[in-house]
Structure 1
């Protein structure tokens, strides 16, 4: 188990201590795992909580306009009745306390018993149960749906109502109405690891997901093959909309929640599709949140929550609030469409060799080599080279109908711009500048003889070296490009045919690439690894040898 912890038994108190020390306005209740506001306020107090492992919920939502206190139990374990009662006593005023509880048996029992004990002491205490998980059909006699990430929106609605000075019955009524308007569902791409257990709660194959999972590491309602993000988002929303009866013309708030280990880029892809699906169904999204609100420790995946809105509930969501984990909801904007920048025109120049066959050959060999180049780059870099070159290759194939294949300078300039846009990273600008300089060289020559192509190749390689600041022996793609360019020009000058000269260039590139295995890296991400790259061929140089070989077989015959 690889976790940044000290002792599994000390995770909860150490986590709470760290949170409070970084959160002005919060305090720890002595002798209890309760986070509360530093200053007691008048009016109805709100308390929520549950087992740890859902951070930032619930302790991260203690603050003005939200919760007055949060009670934390051990990981995925309900806090004790005594801990809840301690929190009630600490924050309750004359107006009483509302407990916001997720629908899990342990939470219902411990929070419910604490409320009963508080009432026996003369404290007005009420409880609402959040059961927003639409994945489960429990029937009228079952325990009911689980409480999951939509609970955070209930905190906000009830918190705003309490801050507005409403009495306990009115705050409870608004919380219950918000719960009735709420539906959620999640999908997991991996299980989570409870520190005390030391291993995941379930296992998934590389091509499997769990639909409708809970937030305590339990499996979902069914296991299914992984699908593109758009399909999964649509599936989740279809279920929520059907279960909650949301229809065209309704107005909603949308919460996109990271279950713990989902990258921001994936959340944004989910957000894009969720907004598109709802808009296509005639449902207006008035507010949207995307981020980490209620997790299952380190589970990869997300959940979606929808809350139907009237003007009053929208005002509650928009009311001022401040807490360590709270962010204001946004009104989604229409996608702005900027005018594309003007592009400089390149003179057509001279007729070119069979460009289409050459492009297809280069693209095919790089796409076929993607797994090998990716594995090579994972050993010495960041692992994206094969993927990037495959993406660029597919873009070149797609662009063939738009290229001026009869004229070398124009075609090379267009390919330069294309690779600049789609490759990214270091490969994008390096290949782009090489092709752009080669385009200018051919345009200046005015012809497309083999010697002109050799000169253009050499000029392009020189431009790449200038831009990247590299040279021979740095263990980069230049260690294949430089000897290949030199061999190509020398063999043509010696009178060899184009095919033989290209063959010599390929052999020089292959030898240069092989030599990188014994070089100390001086450029690129490999330079951070130093001697650890020993024995590994530079993947950029290997890629050069591959596409040069494809060119030689296609153009040289």
Structure 2
């Protein structure tokens, strides 16, 4: 089963139609000729008109790029299929301003080139001044494989459209707009990769060619076309291969780019539709770092986002544009940065802001000026450290169980959060200076927890530990003495009361309080950490079958809560049992 085979709209014709009808709703400056699947500017300005288009499924390309400063008109086909020559002819003749000529920008696919080309010839025959630029930026197709057809057009096409559109908006002639569009196309190289083929609504796709788990297709086209190779690799390895295909001059079959470290370069990292913005950010950072470290290139512009998709393709593409001299008053960068009133164009950073990227302001190191005041509570440093290490390692070892429980009754992040906090404290212990002052030792832990643990449990731990530090200081003796179970019990009791100001959670609500309260109460009565830890464990196990009244678990349906303990309570109990074990060593 294709991972992307589920859709809200299954009829491909209805899908394309309604998607096109939505565009004027998001941009009132454009209109929709739904019969011919054309999006065009209302009252198009007296300038060279830029017309583009292709099969649907690549949104926001191209229909959502129609607007001031970008395209004048876009013609859509059905999903992954070129529009007809008649559709394109009607766009050129009847939907865009023709006074100063029309430039057609099309990607190098046979159907697009033939249909747009036929429309261009018809328009010329009708006396209209029309030029056409065909973009073939894909380094995934070598010379031998491309043959007479040449390279495919992929996401680098949007750089051609944007720069040409901005130049046309400045009033440049058709000759100049065409020349600069071709210059951008000639200096752009791209490559895409994907973890999966996409599923076209309403179409039965062969499943035998689906990629295996962990396998990536490099050089994959935007219509499910095969790439140049499949391999199992991680993100750094994948980016390394992709950049090599774009920049290496060693492979004569694929050496299309003349980009060197001396050139100014524009980087476009494009989402093929199914990558989350969070993950795309990580991908973009990897690309920028490898360009800098391996290729000694620092892009003067970085565009990262969704510009040309393959429906909801689980992949991305990298495009690199060598900034060349336009020979005009406007540079490629100025034209790229120029504003565009098109709902699909998401690069909104001005030239002025980009110009400041090289500025490094010396910032004085800021400190809050607060130092932890020493206390009279003493601990044996080696014992405190070893006890804590034992407890933290025990907590880390149960992360899979905590995660499993939280996946059943919550959102699955509790175990990872606790493990992250534990690992961060262990790392701190490796470098922190030994101290026999309990409050200084505790403060080191608090600082780590506040930075490394997020979410609800992170906040609860941070509040509780700060309150514990306050309680310990209030119960500190007048002269240096070892901390006693009695002092711990009093401080812990006051910490619980402080925590109650910020959360209404109590035992019985199915939270970590079901483990924390029994621990504190038992320690206060018995002054035995062993008995207190066992009480915490019993409290955590008692949450099985307990219906939550607080926290995210409240919203989660199903009967899973009857079978597993509260993950937060279980994690805390294991930590406390670890402390008990550590004290015995």
Q: Which residue of structure 2 lines up, in the alignment, with residue 498 of structure 1?
A: none
* 1:299–1:6 Cα change, 3 Å: closer
CA offsets, 1:243-269, max 9 Å, x none?
413212211222121211222222222
Q: Which residue of structure 1 lines up, in the alignment, with residue 341 of structure 2?
A: 322
Please give the TM-score of this superposition, normalised by the length of structure 2. 0.87
Secondary structure of the residue aligned to 1:191 is coil
* 1:246–1:329 Cα change, 3 Å: farther
Take 2:472 and 2:134, find their aligned partners in 1: how far apart are those partners? Answer: 74
Secondary structure of the residue aligned to 2:162 is helix
Q: Shift in Å at residue 59 of structure 1?
A: 0.6
Q: Which stretch of structure 1 is more off in the superposition, 229-238 or 369-378?
A: 229-238
Q: Shift in Å at residue 35 of structure 1?
A: 0.6
Would the aligned equivalents of 2:395 and 2:578 in 1 still touch at CA under 8 Å?
Answer: no
Secondary structure of the residue aligned to 1:471 is coil
Q: Shift in Å at residue 405 of structure 1?
A: 4.6
Q: Which residue of structure 1 lines up, in the alignment, with residue 6 of structure 2?
A: 2
Q: Which residue of structure 2 lines up, in the alignment, with residue 495 of structure 1?
A: none
Q: Which residue of structure 2 lines up, in the alignment, with residue 145 of structure 1?
A: 151
* Map 1:293-332 → 2, pairs under 5 A: 293-310=307-324, 312-326=331-345, 327-329=347-349, 331=354
Would the aligned equivalents of 1:403 and 1:414 in 2 still touch at CA under 8 Å?
Answer: no
* 1:238–1:467 Cα change, 3 Å: farther
Would the aligned equivalents of 2:17 and 2:34 in 1 still touch at CA under 8 Å?
Answer: no
Q: Shift in Å at residue 480 of structure 1?
A: 0.8
Question: Does residue 377 of structure 1 match 2:391?
Answer: no
Secondary structure of the residue aligned to 2:310 is coil
CA offsets, 1:109-134, max 9 Å, x none?
22122222222333333221111112
Q: Which residue of structure 2 lines up, in the alignment, with residue 347 of structure 1?
A: 373
Would the aligned equivalents of 1:289 and 1:329 in 2 still touch at CA under 8 Å?
Answer: no
* 1:133–1:526 Cα change, 3 Å: same
* 1:377–1:10 Cα change, 3 Å: same
* 1:190–1:510 Cα change, 3 Å: farther
Take 1:339 and 1:356, find their aligned partners in 2: how far apart are those partners? Answer: 30
Would the aligned equivalents of 1:392 and 1:419 in 2 still touch at CA under 8 Å?
Answer: yes
Q: Which residue of structure 2 lines up, in the alignment, with residue 497 of structure 1?
A: none
Question: Does residue 169 of structure 1 match 2:175?
Answer: yes
* 1:203–1:141 Cα change, 3 Å: closer
Would the aligned equivalents of 1:409 and 1:440 in 2 still touch at CA under 8 Å?
Answer: no
* 1:358–1:440 Cα change, 3 Å: same
* Map 1:516-555 → 2, pairs under 5 A: 516-529=543-556, 532=559, 534-535=561-562, 536-555=564-583
CA offsets, 1:314-333, max 9 Å, x none?
23213342211123345273
Take 1:290 and 1:476, find their aligned partners in 2: how far apart are those partners? Answer: 41
Selected match of 2:105 from 79, 100, 104: 100
Secondary structure of the residue aligned to 2:502 is helix
Q: Shift in Å at residue 482 of structure 1?
A: 0.4
Secondary structure of the residue aligned to 1:74 is strand
Take 2:26 and 2:206, find their aligned partners in 1: how far apart are those partners? Answer: 30
Take 1:142 and 1:406, find their aligned partners in 2: how far apart are those partners? Answer: 78
Would the aligned equivalents of 1:480 and 1:510 in 2 still touch at CA under 8 Å?
Answer: yes
Take 2:313 and 2:34, find their aligned partners in 1: how far apart are those partners? Answer: 31
Q: Which stretch of structure 1 is more off in the superposition, 307-316 or 383-392?
A: 307-316
* Map 1:360-375 → 2, pairs under 5 A: 360-375=389-404
* 1:319–1:435 Cα change, 3 Å: closer
Q: Shift in Å at residue 524 of structure 1?
A: 1.4
Selected match of 2:128 from 119, 123, 130: 123
Q: Which residue of structure 2 lines up, in the alignment, with residue 157 of structure 1?
A: 163
Q: Which residue of structure 2 lines up, in the alignment, with residue 210 of structure 1?
A: 217
Q: Shift in Å at residue 537 of structure 1?
A: 1.9
Secondary structure of the residue aligned to 2:132 is strand
Gaps of 5+ in 2: 249-254, 326-330
Secondary structure of the residue aligned to 1:371 is helix
Take 2:77 and 2:551, find their aligned partners in 1: how far apart are those partners? Answer: 47
Question: Does residue 21 of structure 1 match 2:25?
Answer: yes
Secondary structure of the residue aligned to 1:518 is coil
Aligned length: 548
CA offsets, 1:209-264, max 9 Å, x none?
2222211233432222241x444444433332224132122112221212112222
Gaps of 5+ in 1: 493-500
Q: Which residue of structure 1 lines up, in the alignment, with residue 82 of structure 2?
A: 78
Q: Shift in Å at residue 200 of structure 1?
A: 8.6
**Cα RMSD after superposing both structures:** 2.4
Would the aligned equivalents of 1:358 and 1:554 in 2 still touch at CA under 8 Å?
Answer: yes
Take 1:246 and 1:483, find their aligned partners in 2: how far apart are those partners? Answer: 67
